[in-house]
Structures are given as structure tokens and as C-alpha cells.
A = this chain, B = another copy of it.
Amino acid sequence: MQFASDNAGPVHPRVMDALMRANEGHAPSYGADAFTGRAVEALRATLEAQAAEVFLVATGTAANALLLAAMTAPWETVFCARTAHIEEDECGAPEFYSGGAKLTLLEAPDGKIAPQTLEAALREAAGRGVHQVQPGPVSLTQVTEKGTLYSLDELRALCDIAHAHGRRVHMDGARFANAVAALGCSPAEASWRAGVDALSFGGTKNGLMGAEAAVIFDPALARDLAFRRKRGAHLFSKHRYLAAQIGAALEDGLWLQMAGAANAAAARLEAGLAATGKVEMLHPREANILFAAWPRAIHQRLKAAGAAYHLSGDLREGDPAEMLPARLVCDWSARPADTDAFLALF
């Protein structure tokens, strides 16, 4: 009953196999190896973006922080959702890597920024003088932190607004695979064709050991990223092992199979929870995360049985009938039997 996070799950066996295969003899370090060349080409092909610049790193925060630093002057601000990972869960990494830029927090019901919210914020910022922090890029999270998705139409609308104001668009795609699998579109449609200028292409939450790709569609932004990555201590010497992970994920569509499995597991869980009649959904479940509330007494039973998930509120004190909210995340390895056992405790 493992629903704590998709980064608590194991690495897919095919990825482990790829690591074993990469572990033959010597290979040039720092990305000059053949595995890296192939992984980068595979990612370009997957994204239908032959000119994209790709930089592999090991954490999603590194991908986000490096890309945002390349897009944001120290005296600029990043427009993002109040709930964004870059605001809430990176201990100020974007501020550190950018040399002290700000984040401007936009209201985001269900984790999503509405076009009119973005338009209003960019319009307000347009007239700023030398005393004010200047407008910088827009950062969108897909899948959002609330488990919802921007539709392609919504995504295009937001990118169009950003571009109309001369702002570039970054996508935090820690769960980009889950988004593409859920939207049923091409990776290109979900990114640069919609107007995304730079993408944090996530892998770690999707069955890899620790591998992400910072992808830049606008080559003008790429010039300095190699220096930023090295200076940030994120250039791996044994680079082939990062590359082997990304390469394995992209081979025969494994990345979308894993994401699809995670999404399906979450859908199955959602249906089961709904069937109990005891659960209130807090946000639409559109990928592999769901937010729901149910009575404290049931939480106590689940936790006692060893179920792993994040819970807001105190398990021990108060009314057993009080509804306490929880976050449940499924990864590629979720097993139906686990879900059934979980649901049976309701």
C-alpha cells in the first residue's frame, strides 16, 4: 500500500538492465561517451526537436533551477503558481541559481493558472521602472502539484499570453510523462508546439534512478547552460550512467508505458475510493496523483495497517468522523492487489 510518492518507488528492471549494460569497460567522462550521444538523439527524436539542446542532470530541482537561471536575470521575477514546486519545495534553488531573482506567485485553483490571471499579472508588470523587479519568464507545472492537467488549449493560451508580453515559458515537467500519457498527445504538442521554450523533462519520478533532462528549444538560451551546470556541480563525470537511464526510458516507449501504468493505477484507486461512498475528492484526478479526504477513523485504520501516503492534519486527536485530506501518488510499479487491500480497509 505504497502511495507516498512516485519517487519512493523502485527503478524499472529494464533501466537496471541498461545500467548493467553500460557498465562495460572504460568510457569517456563528462558526456563524451556514446551513451550520452544516443540518449540526447533519442530525446530529440521523441520531442521532434532536432535543434533542442539537452543537458542531463540527476535531480528535478537541478533541471528547474538551471533552466530558470538561464532565462531570468537576477533583477527579474518568475511568474508561477503559488503551489509550484519551485516555490514550495526547492528551498530557494531558483533564487540561488539565478543570483537572487524573485518568484511572483499567481493564484492557481486546482494547481492551474488561469489565462486571465497570467494576463493580469504580466500587464501589471509591464509598466515597471528601474525601481521595480522586472518581469521574467513564466513557469508552468505539468502535471500540476494538485494532480491536474493543463489541456493543450489551455497550455497554448498561456504560452501565447506569455509570448505576447515578450516572456519565455518554462515547463516543470517532473511528471511530463504522466501528462503526455494522460493527454494522449505527442510530446512535441505538449511542449514546444504549444509554446514551451524550455522543459524540465522528468525521469526520476517515472521509474529512473535519478535522471532528468533540461531541454532548451530556443538555442539562444543554451549558450551558458554548460557553464551553469558545471558550476552548480551537476556535471557528472561518469555521465554514461545518467545517459543509460534516459536512453532506456525512451527505448520502445518505456517512459510512456510506465507513466500510463501509474496513471491507470491512480484511476483505479480513484474509482475504488468513489465506490466507498466515504471519500470526498479535493481536486480532479487527471494523472497519477489524487487528493481526497475521508474520516480520521479510516486514516487511523489505514496507517495502522501500514499504508504509506501523505496526510494533512493530526491523525491522533479529534473527531473520528472528521474529514482529513490526503495525497496519494501511484508510480509505475503500483500493484492492483495493493490498491485492493487499501480499499478494503475503508
Contact = CB atoms under 8 A, between A and B. Distances in A.
Name the prevailing secondary structure of the A interface residues.
loop
A225 B27 CA distance: 33
Interface stretch (A89-97, A138-146, A149-157, A253-261): A89-97
A73 interface: yes
A7 B61 contact: no
A300 interface: no
B237 A7 contact: yes
Interface string A22-55: 0111111110000000000000000000000000
A187 interface: no
A88 interface: yes
Interface in A273-315: 308
Instruction: Give the interface size class of chain A.
Output: 35 or more
A165 interface: no
Contacts of A75: 91-92, 224, 227-228, 230-231
A210 interface: yes
B238 A132 contact: no
B92 A102 contact: yes
Interface stretch (A9-17, A107-115, A191-199, A262-270): A9-17
A236 B210 contact: yes
A92 B96 contact: no
A216 interface: no
Interface string A80-110: 0000000011111101111111110000000
Contact of A233 (B23, B59, B73): B59
**Copies of this chain held together in the complex:** 4
B59 A236 contact: yes
A234 interface: yes
A338 B20 CA distance: 23
B26 A89 contact: no
A29 B61 CA distance: 15
A233 B230 CA distance: 13
A321 interface: no
A166 interface: no
A100 B102 CA distance: 8
A341 B66 CA distance: 44
B241 A89 contact: no
A209 interface: yes
A93 B238 contact: no
Nearest to A95: B100
A338 to B, nearest CB: 10
Interface centre among A91, A98, A99, A228 (most CB of B within 10 A): A91
B88 A92 contact: no
A222 to B, nearest CB: 13
Given A19-B19, A209-B241, A210-B241, 15 more contacts: A9-B26, A16-B23, A25-B333, A26-B333, A60-B237, A61-B235, A62-B234, A91-B132, A91-B227, A92-B102, A95-B101, A96-B100, A102-B103, A130-B227, A204-B238
